[in-house]
Structure 1
Amino acid sequence: MTAEITGDKDLHKEPPRTDDLSALPYRLALPMRKVAKPYFFRKYDLTIHHEERFPLTGPLLMAPNHLSLLDAPLLGAVAPRMLHQLGKIEVFGGFQGTFLRRIGQIPVDRSSYDMLAVRRSIQVLRDGRVLNIYPEGTRGPGDFSRIKVGIAYLAMVTGAPILPVALMGTRLPGAGVEGHPPAGSRIDVVYGEAFAVDRVPFPRRHSDVQAVADHIGDVLRAHVRAAVDATGHPLPGWRDQRDPDD
């Protein structure tokens, strides 16, 4: 799942309103998490590293690398808190779309500046909840070599801390981004140290947001390198297909 949720030039003249939005549903996700978490531990050789670093209260921007379709359901099940996740609008059709909305997930139209997705994302953080956003913008090598500015914008608007997350093993070397690893595969989820960026008063320029995004990218790249070194579990590398919807 992925999102690019900022426009060009001046992003807003004033902070976006969220008080007129209906509350996002999420209670259906809570019992599902209780079922899904043991399922993933049974299916995979799954290890969670440094779970104590995950803040248990307050707003949080969760920032994992993005390797495969498995990433979102896996993190949604094993994270210590319920996640609201951004997902491309193409997967929100029919019954699947109804289900995703019922568990508090947020569709985003990547072909345009999706103001509703922006406001929903800010709403989650203003409500003191966890928003999961993939800073790379699409599934790929998982090394944070490319960072979209959406995460910087949301951090600057809300002041929410950012939690780096390194996923290893959700895609095997040479495998495509659409599949899941076979049962029994080793998967590591490594949480980093949460950090914050300065809130910047409105109005702000795109160049301001880009500078913050560059800093966030440096932190995330350092985290994923350290996670690979600590676990000995490499990323799948560049020999893969990019997200066909990118």
Structure 2
Amino acid sequence: MRVSLFITCLADLMYPEVGESVVRLLRRYGCEVDFPELQTCCGQPAYNSGYQDEARTVARQWIRAFEHSDYVVSPSGSCTGMVHHYYPDLFRDEPEWRAKAEAIIARTYEFSQFLVQVLGVTDVGATFPHKVTYHPSCHAMRLLGVRTEPGTLMDNVRGMETIELPRRDDCCGFGGTFAVKMADMSEAMVCEKAKHVLETGAEVLVGTDMGCLMNIGGRLNKEGKPVKVMHLAQLLEEGSAGR
């Protein structure tokens, strides 16, 4: 099947290795992966800041980039959630663009969703002999309903000890523009999240959104704590690289 990678801004600019891991895994399971160069931001920062006209402009470009894709896969529940839940609202008064948005929504997936729900993959044959804890991102969990897929994939990683993160469902405080608008509150939230990560004694923090991992990892680094952060795709791909 043909899959288009929606890389997202953070992965493209700061964590390209996450996109590389996604592509390698998808190709391993027979997907023909392309990268539409017309793609841009999903429009979430503008939308969350009240700039709906600007968000619509960006969203139209995003739709143009992917409208001919069989599937669109992204290593971000946040950006995927923006497309799924807010594009129909953005184009509520533009029937033609709303129809285009709804057509592409049906083919757009967060990475772990696509592996489990579409490809039927629950075990990539990975081995990762480390203590790991998992942070579920708010948008993936609450907007997209991604609750079991990451855990299912992690449960089948050999040699890995997964330790439950206390208050795992609490937000890390990033929230995109929230971290800028409400900096003091955001800092308090990420400090609490980092404290819970350290309580687990884990060597590695895993997540499905680089925004969350960047925020938590930045806090841990500031405190001088040697906890590695990894996107789920990196863990699965690196752990099964020899297959």
TM-score calculated relative to the size of structure 1: 0.31
Larger relative CO (CA 8 A, sep 6+): 1 or 2?
1
TM-score (norm 2): 0.31
More helix by share: 2
